[in-house]
Amino acid sequence: MNPLLMPIIAIQGRRLRPSIEMLSPASGPESGTVGDASRSPVHIAVLGESTAAGYGVDTHDEGFPGCLAQELVARTNRPVGWEVAGQHGATARRIRHRLLPRLGSSLDVAVVLAGASDVLVRRTPQEWGADLSAIVDELATRANQVLVAGIPPFRSFPSIPTLLGRYLAARADALDAMSRQVCAERPRATWVAAMDISSPEFFARDRFHPSASGYRRWAQGVAEHITI
């Protein structure tokens, strides 16, 4: 990035947060079951930042955990029990120390939705990698498969100015490179590249978090990498 552009990027960054409508997290239970409960269920967990917490939708059934559970029911013809631990603005460090302990054990699949907050607070790839490694290592003791979702492409966020979006995307690319390395070194871990989110229907009314349609598309993309 051209250093001469950094003052403009800094101004856009300071203006970004106040310009985004503050939504509420998804309401309702942070665990549930989808499908025929008379059969042996698949157990999944979702861990992460505001996207895990369900910002942009009313309930977790419409958010990523519920959408992923519904997708896995359709793919496996088995019921899916899900649980979630998420918090707005949570960096990988907070996820590691505050949210991860909330999850249970004996999981089939765990999905990590994180990184956007680390980009926004300018954590280094090394800081991100250290915390992500600890998260994945701990989840691997509880789950048969751990998936780390790629950071959504900031360039496509309608709420972010183009120049700032390019800068944040470059920082996200550096963190994603570290994520790929962390997952490549761990047999139970899989890194899932971010999907195309250029469609306006992907976003909630704050133009920053996914809508119900966005979460459903995202969950469908992640489900393609799950082996049960």
Average of per-residue pLDDT across 197-216: 94
Q: In angstroms, how far is CA 214 from the centroid of its own chain? A: 12
Give the sheet arrangement for strand 189-192, strand by strand: 31-34, 80-86, 42-48, 107-113, 143-149, 189-192
What does the domain layout of the chain look like in residue ranges? 34-223
Mean pLDDT, the chain, whole residue set: 95
Kindly report, residue by residue over 109-137, the tens digit of the pLDDT.
Answer: 999 999 999 999 999 999 999 999 999 99
Selected residue with higher pLDDT from 8 and 170: 170
Quick check: 4 pLDDT over 80? no
- Is 214 within 8 Å of 197 (Cβ atoms)? yes
The closest of 75, 58, 49, 61 to 152, measured between CA atoms, is 49
Kindly report, residue by residue over 51-92, the tens digit of the pLDDT.
Answer: 999 999 999 999 999 999 999 999 999 999 999 999 999 999
pLDDT over 70 for what percent of the chain?
Answer: 99
Long-range contacts of 10-17 (CB under 8 A, 24+ apart): 12/161, 12/163, 12/164, 13/164, 16/159, 16/160, 16/161, 16/164
Task: Write down the pLDDT at residue 7.
Answer: 82
Quick check: 14 pLDDT over 80? yes
- Is 46 within 8 Å of 95 (Cβ atoms)? no
Quick check: 165 pLDDT over 90? yes
User: Which numeric CATH code is attached to 34-223?
Assistant: 3.40.50.1110
Task: Write down the pLDDT at residue 1.
Answer: 66
Kindly report, residue by residue over 16-42, the tens digit of the pLDDT.
Answer: 888 889 999 999 999 999 998 778 899
Q: In angstroms, how far is CA 184 from the centroid of its own chain? A: 19
Using a 10 angstrom Cβ sphere, with 0-12 exposed, 13-18 middle and 19 or more buried, the burial of residue 27 is: exposed
